[in-house]
Structure 1
Amino acid sequence: MTETEQKFEFSEFSGEFVDDDVTVILRIYRPAGTNLDWTLEVFDEEGNTTIWNDTFDTDRDAFEEFLATVQRDGIRSFLDEPVQRLH
């Protein structure tokens, strides 16, 4: 199966997130039909992507890491150059 054929299961925590008048799209996902770890990705208003290098045991763990990043670095940190973040 090629990557374009891969189906994903998206967490209920995925979706738009707005803070300080900045909107980002939060995607927390894993391959559909699996119990593999969850991937965390954030898309900014320009369509740039920030993705975490590590995966997460649960979708809640991924969401909490996103919230901790927003609290620590601010939502505007996602508007800088796209980066890969360490977990």
Structure 2
Amino acid sequence: MEHKPNLVISNASQRIVEAGIPFKVDIYKLEGGDGWSLEVVTEDGTSIVWDNIFEEDQAAFEEALNTIRSEGAATFAKGGSNIIPFKQ
């Protein structure tokens, strides 16, 4: 039986509130894998996942904060112009 790698959750993952709007910042990678993935989840459950992989988990966290702040928390939470909704 083939061993499936575990998901490693970074200690940099956390809930934040920016301009009164809550976000969940998830930073994770596969056990033994290279680089960290970044996902930000809004209060309504919208998931925003970055395409690029980060060498350091703290760099991923800083990217999330910088992006939320530069786009504005309300705009980021509402999807802005770069969010593609999943069709159900």
The count of aligned residue pairs is: 80
Q: How does 1:40-55 map to 2 (within 5 A)?
A: 40-55=38-53
Corresponding residue SS for 1:18 = strand
| Percent of aligned pairs sharing the same letter | 28
**Cα displacement (A) at 1:71:** 2.3
Any gaps of 5 or more consecutive residues in structure 2? Answer: none
What CA RMSD, in Å, does the superposition of the two structures yield over aligned residues?
2.0
Task: Give 1:30-49 correspondences, 5 Å limit.
Answer: 30-32=29-31, 34-49=32-47
Displacement after TM superposition at 1:7 (Å): 2.4
Classify 1:41/1:70 alpha carbon distance in 2 versus 1 (closer, same or farther; 3 Å): same
Q: TM-score, normalised by structure 1?
A: 0.78
> Which ranges of structure 1 fall in alignment gaps of 5 or more residues?
none
Asked which structure has the greater CA Rg, the reply is: 2
Aligned to 1:25: 24
